[in-house]
Amino acid sequence: MAVTTKGWEDKGAVEKFTTRSQEPDFWSGVEPFIQKVLIPLYNTGKNERREFNRALDAGAGWGRHSFYLLRKISKEVVALEPSEEFVKRMREIDKKEYGGGSIEIIKGGLPKTSFKNGEFNLIVCWDVLAHGTMDKIKDSAEELKRLLAPGGVLVLGTLSTNHKNFKIARKKGKEIEKGTFVGGFEGEWGGTHHYFTREELEELFKGLRIVRLEEEIRETGYNKGGIHWAMYAEKPLKPKALS
């Protein structure tokens, strides 16, 4: 079944989702969990300080996390985004804030990319994985694991079955497979959304070492009050031996 993405190509939608970029503090749009888990890794003040050479923002939107990663975390940043309107907005921000060319902006998205195996030692995938059916979600998870370098870090945020919209979707949306609905999502366009259990995420990212997997309540934005999963995982330096 096709995934509805029409809303993300709408210019009005882009303006709605980039309003925070107009605030005096441009970086206020960065998710607190991302700052909470990455800043200690990068700025320990010790010899074991983590160096992130190349980061991927998978499903970058208007670039709120891409530009944050560039400024605070990684030497190089690739912003991958399927919406042409969001890509245009990112380029506008890049030119205004940095003179252009500060990050690599690519129109495209999961699950199929042309990047090399292990190309990134940091991947952020925030509010992206839920947009699709389970077949696409599984392929996207495998692609993220393929792109992550040994020792690399994945930071991911996605919908929980405890999200307020899960109950709304069950009443007003159409369930097309277990946990996946079309419609019934307040604050966003129709589209397809999957709501995850802890067990589903643990299964999808089997092979990574999940350091943190916790539910959090969003305190700002159109999803205010919604419960999401926030995950921080690392790819082992060596594959686990088969038992």
User: 164: which residues sit within 8 A by CB, 6+ positions away?
Assistant: 186, 225, 226, 227
Look up the pTM and report it.
0.86
- Considering only CA atoms, give the Rg of the chain: 17
Q: Do residues 128 and 188 touch, judged by C-beta distance below 8 A?
A: no
Q: Do residues 150 and 117 touch, judged by C-beta distance below 8 A?
A: no
For the chain, give the mean pLDDT: 84
Lowest average pLDDT, out of 9-13, 114-118, 183-187, 197-201, goes to: 9-13
pLDDT, position 26: 47
Q: Is 221 helix (H, G, I), strand (E, B) or coil?
A: coil
Tokens of residue 232, six digits: 């921080």
Superfamily of segment(s) 6-19+51-158+197-234: Vaccinia Virus protein VP39 (3.40.50.150)
Position with higher pLDDT, 171 vs 184: 171
Lowest average pLDDT, out of 124-138, 177-191, 201-215, goes to: 177-191
Cα angle: 168, vertex 202, 176; to 5 degrees: 35
Residue that is written with structure tokens 């038992």 in the block? 243
pLDDT confidence band for 48 (50 / 70 / 90): low
Burial 181-202 (b: 16+ CB within 10 A, else e): bbebbeebeebbbbbbeeebbe
Position with higher pLDDT, 231 vs 51: 231
Q: Mind listing the pLDDT tens digit for each residue in 88-128?
A: 999 999 999 899 999 999 999 999 999 999 999 999 999 99
Position with higher pLDDT, 221 vs 243: 221
Distance CA 32, CA 219 (A): 10
Distance CA 161, CA 196 (A): 6
Tokens of residue 69, six digits: 């990663």
pLDDT confidence band for 7 (50 / 70 / 90): very low
Q: Is 125 helix (H, G, I), strand (E, B) or coil?
A: strand
Position with higher pLDDT, 5 vs 12: 12
Position with higher pLDDT, 188 vs 85: 85
Distance CA 48, CA 18 (A): 36
| Boundaries of every domain in the chain | 6-19+51-158+197-234
pLDDT, position 43: 53
pLDDT confidence band for 239 (50 / 70 / 90): low
User: 203: which residues sit within 8 A by CB, 6+ positions away?
Assistant: none
